[in-house]
């Protein structure tokens, strides 16, 4: 599933392509909203909250979530029509939502109610580590990786970052939240990881962008830990795959 930094970059690209332009085509291919036509409306704003993306035009707000495989593409999408959920075009640009997990049209004045359940946005201008820490500590016995992935605690972390954060914190993904020695440092590291990767073509948590050296543990089952040489382990138990070093992460 795309992580918060991917959604942030997607919103930035759509903002550049659509903002302050009038829609010349609005083709929504979700049955519930298929009759909605925003042609003639001006796109005023494009922004994201966690992994949710909003395009405000006229009195409406197009709310989308990429899910596991969704993308927004600029220009000709070159995909089969049945994968397209929405097409938005202006005199200059075209944006196509492909394989979106969620696509709905909301009343602009109340669109943020759709994400009211989210915790603090790691990439948001109003980021505050305090509530994020409080949310995590409210369930101290919950497995750390699951708590980090819960967007109600803090918004923007996907499975790659969850595993990498567990490693740099020195705690196994299945260990309880209470095992984290410094929760404030944990959430600030999460923000740093996402924000640092906003301008990188290759996502890295190690600081090394060379091919095959970008990540500490994610996707590296059976390979040597970069710190101690112990083989990285993988677990398929639970809703998400976990990777960890049994020596570095207690």
Backbone φ and ψ for 85, nearest 5 degrees, come out as -105, -30
Q: Which of 167, 184, 57, 67 is nearest to 111 (CA)?
A: 57
Q: Which two tokens stand for residue 128?
A: 């505050």
Q: Which of 51, 77, 143, 173 is catalytic?
A: 51
2 counts as catalytic: yes
Which residue reads 């109003």 in tokens?
Answer: 126
Cα atoms found within 13 Å of the Cα of residue 161, Cβ hemisphere only:
30
51 is catalytic: yes
- The catalytic residue among 3, 77, 120, 214 is 3
**How many angstroms separate the CA atoms of 124 and 112, rounded?**
14
Alpha carbons 9 and 17: distance in angstroms, whole number: 12
The answer to whether residue 3 is catalytic is yes
Which DSSP string do the residues of 94-145 spell out, in sequence order?
A: EEEEES-SEEEEEEGGGGGGGGTT---BTTSTT--HHHHHHHHHTSTTSBHH
Q: Which residues are catalytic?
A: 2-3, 51
């Amino acid at each position: 599933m795309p992580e918060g930094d991917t959604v942030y970059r997607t919103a930035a690209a759509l903002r550049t392509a659509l903002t302050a332009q009038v829609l010349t085509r609005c083709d929504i291919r979700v049955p519930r909203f298929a009759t909605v036509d925003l042609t003639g409306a001006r796109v005023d704003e494009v922004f994201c909250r966690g992994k949710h993306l909003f395009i405000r035009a006229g009195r409406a707000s197009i709310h989308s979530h990429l899910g596991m495989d969704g993308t927004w593409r600029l220009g000709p999408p070159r995909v089969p029509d049945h994968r397209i959920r929405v097409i938005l075009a202006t005199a200059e640009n075209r944006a196509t939502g492909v394989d979106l997990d969620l696509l709905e049209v909301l009343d602009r004045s109340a669109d943020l109610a759709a994400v009211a359940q989210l915790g603090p946005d790691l990439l948001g201008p109003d980021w505050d580590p305090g509530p994020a820490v409080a949310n995590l500590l409210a369930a101290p016995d919950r497995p750390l990786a699951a708590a980090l992935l819960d967007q109600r605690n803090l918004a923007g972390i996907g499975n790659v970052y969850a595993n990498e954060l567990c490693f740099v914190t020195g705690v196994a993904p299945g260990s309880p939240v209470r095992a984290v020695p410094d929760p404030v440092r944990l959430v600030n590291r999460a923000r740093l990881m996402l924000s640092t990767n906003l301008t990188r073509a290759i996502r890295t948590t190690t600081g090394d962008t060379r091919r095959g050296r970008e990540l500490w543990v994610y996707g590296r089952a059976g390979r040597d830990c970069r710190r101690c040489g112990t083989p990285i382990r993988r677990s398929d138990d639970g809703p998400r795959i976990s990777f960890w070093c049994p020596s570095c992460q207690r």
